[in-house]
Structure 1
């Protein structure tokens, strides 16, 4: 166990109020309790992204779910905060440190459809709900590749609200992050875990970020024991790609870094990074991949993301990111 010297008797962990945020923050709180032998109190904080009813692309997307939590950290109202990593801006926050990125959950997207259907089984013209331009672009492209058409319908709300559109018959299906469903104990409601060859996740999807004040070195060092080096390298590469594309979390950009296995022994020899940018109608898509050494340092992982971004920009990715109509 990490020495608890200089740590407060009770730690305050800031979290959004949603059921998913509370569930994942509660899991981290338990890990912290076991790690440093201190009680952890969840402090519910409302963010702008929680109160606004506009779609993320309209309110800017980047940082809308984290700014209030970061303000509370800087003001000393909480000791640490837990974020969904895909919600974090790619730029470092002054005065804060990303103390740990725990082992990543399943990064894939999940389909929740009527009658237990998969995407391939949905009827032509099916109405599929998602608030993500990234998902819209790839789902429309996937449908087009099968010679079919779908209608992507912009939605927002918590998991119950989104799945409710399917239960009520308003939509044929909705697409959600598999990690979120799993953390809520509801993965069984998914009718398909969508393969990443068809739908690349958002950069950092499935991973959590634990932040604390940069000056709180003792706490940061303690939390670092929750860090998973491979997950950090993977999401660093993905977020570096996003940053180099000068795109925010509401842009139609997907990315995933995974181990690449080689040889009869299937040894991990490389880190493979895939990226995609597309118009929301799915007509135009730039999909590319690159490999680098593993285990990768943070610097090497970031360089891998920038290199792939350069290649994608050379293929016209910048022009596609301007298409964000919902």
Structure 2
């Protein structure tokens, strides 16, 4: 009898829910039993701002360590948590179809951003969201917060904030989309590179498992997030960098085309560089890299806090 696949996951409700979706898909596609193995990461334990505890990889490294130690066979992450630098011995075996990548508002009294009175307090732990919100010029006070979805939304009921900004994907996976009071158009707020997508990793040496897990891979999603993360890597943007990017595979006149939009902002949102690029989905990394180079040539580095090792724009709570 074949042993169950051990799937490493963070212990939060959101992480175990999305890992459960991957486990269900593997049971259906491979006919293998899958058991979840909860792993505590540094990002789960520390309540300090992410920039202080290392930002890049704080939600990922413990899961990767468990993989390399043979304690689990595969691991599921929110793809935007992954550092842009490849990890030795680890394969990104699958990027399943992406959830809605957009940011959303959850506000008191069902209000939208535009309906919130000037001076209203809006909670977010993401420099990317904070900078883009400030750039909208709505006169809202931005309050830094961390914690899981319950904690963040609970701050509204407690009167600590009037609204919070979250990723729609996390709320959708938790079955809480009905709490959203506004879905923000990407033209107003570009999501984090990889937002809404999952990453399924395993040991690179486990060739048969790498091949088996590939049944979950969605080529269009992988192309889009590869381009987005290439922009991030080229900009050398770390966890404190206000960078947004969104790639989409669309049907063009001569077949599929990859479109990528990206923004780099000053921390206060007063200055920004916005650019877009298009190319072949098969050249996703190249499309994103060239776009990042164009943004650097236009002064993008001057808008960021300073070059840091490549990594995701994190929000404090996994995938929120």
Please tell me the TM-score bracket, short chain as reference: over 0.9
Q: Tell me the equivalent position of 1:4.
A: none
1-structure distance, mates of 2:82, 2:146: 19
Are 1:272 and 1:291, in contact at CA under 8 Å, matched by a contact in 2?
Answer: yes
Following TM superposition, by how much is the alpha carbon of 1:280 offset from its aligned partner in structure 2, in angstroms?
A: 2.2
Which of residues 184, 187, 206 in structure 2 aligns to 1:197? 187
Q: Tell me the equivalent position of 2:312.
A: none
Which of residues 218, 227, 237 in structure 1 aligns to 2:217? 227
Q: Tell me the equivalent position of 1:186.
A: 176
Are 2:99 and 2:196, in contact at CA under 8 Å, matched by a contact in 1?
Answer: yes
Are 1:100 and 1:227, in contact at CA under 8 Å, matched by a contact in 2?
Answer: yes
Which of residues 265, 285, 291 in structure 1 aligns to 2:272? 285
Following TM superposition, by how much is the alpha carbon of 1:268 offset from its aligned partner in structure 2, in angstroms?
A: 6.2
**SS across alignment from 2:150:** helix
Following TM superposition, by how much is the alpha carbon of 1:132 offset from its aligned partner in structure 2, in angstroms?
A: 0.3
2-structure distance, mates of 1:36, 1:309: 39
Following TM superposition, by how much is the alpha carbon of 1:262 offset from its aligned partner in structure 2, in angstroms?
A: 5.4
Greater RCO, 1 or 2 (C-alpha within 8 Å, sep 6+): 2
Which of residues 143, 167, 173 in structure 1 aligns to 2:163? 173
2-structure distance, mates of 1:323, 1:281: 15
Q: Give yes or no for the alignment of 1:29 onto 2:23.
A: yes
The one-character-per-residue Cα deviations of 1:180-215 (angstroms, maximum 9, x if unpaired) are 000000011010111100000000000000000011
With normalisation by structure 2, the TM-score equals 0.93
Q: Give yes or no for the alignment of 1:318 onto 2:301.
A: yes
Are 1:62 and 1:250, in contact at CA under 8 Å, matched by a contact in 2?
Answer: no
Following TM superposition, by how much is the alpha carbon of 1:14 offset from its aligned partner in structure 2, in angstroms?
A: 0.3
Following TM superposition, by how much is the alpha carbon of 1:227 offset from its aligned partner in structure 2, in angstroms?
A: 0.1
Q: Give yes or no for the alignment of 1:272 onto 2:284.
A: no
**SS across alignment from 1:92:** coil
Count, aligned residues: 308
Are 1:113 and 1:166, in contact at CA under 8 Å, matched by a contact in 2?
Answer: yes
Describe how 1:44-59 pairs up with structure 2 within 5 A.
44-59=38-53
Q: 1:92 to 1:322 in 2, by over 3 A?
A: same
Structure 2 gap segments, 5+ residues each: 308-314, 316-320
Structure 1 gap segments, 5+ residues each: 1-6
Q: Tell me the equivalent position of 2:10.
A: 16
Are 1:86 and 1:249, in contact at CA under 8 Å, matched by a contact in 2?
Answer: no
Q: Tell me the equivalent position of 1:307.
A: 290
**SS across alignment from 1:12:** strand
Describe how 1:101-180 pairs up with structure 2 within 5 A.
101-142=95-136, 144=137, 148-180=138-170
**SS across alignment from 1:82:** strand
**SS across alignment from 2:25:** helix
Following TM superposition, by how much is the alpha carbon of 1:274 offset from its aligned partner in structure 2, in angstroms?
A: 0.5
2-structure distance, mates of 1:57, 1:279: 16
Are 1:234 and 1:301, in contact at CA under 8 Å, matched by a contact in 2?
Answer: yes
**SS across alignment from 2:196:** coil
2-structure distance, mates of 1:259, 1:127: 36
2-structure distance, mates of 1:90, 1:8: 34
Following TM superposition, by how much is the alpha carbon of 1:118 offset from its aligned partner in structure 2, in angstroms?
A: 0.8
Following TM superposition, by how much is the alpha carbon of 1:249 offset from its aligned partner in structure 2, in angstroms?
A: 3.8
Q: 1:259 to 1:268 in 2, by over 3 A?
A: farther
Moved more, 91-100 or 53-62: 53-62
The one-character-per-residue Cα deviations of 1:203-258 (angstroms, maximum 9, x if unpaired) are 00000000000111111111001000000000000000000001124421100001
Are 1:104 and 1:208, in contact at CA under 8 Å, matched by a contact in 2?
Answer: yes
**SS across alignment from 1:237:** helix
Are 2:220 and 2:249, in contact at CA under 8 Å, matched by a contact in 1?
Answer: no
Q: Tell me the equivalent position of 2:244.
A: 254
With normalisation by structure 1, the TM-score equals 0.91
1-structure distance, mates of 2:135, 2:250: 26
Following TM superposition, by how much is the alpha carbon of 1:270 offset from its aligned partner in structure 2, in angstroms?
A: 2.3
RMSD: 1.7
2-structure distance, mates of 1:208, 1:74: 20
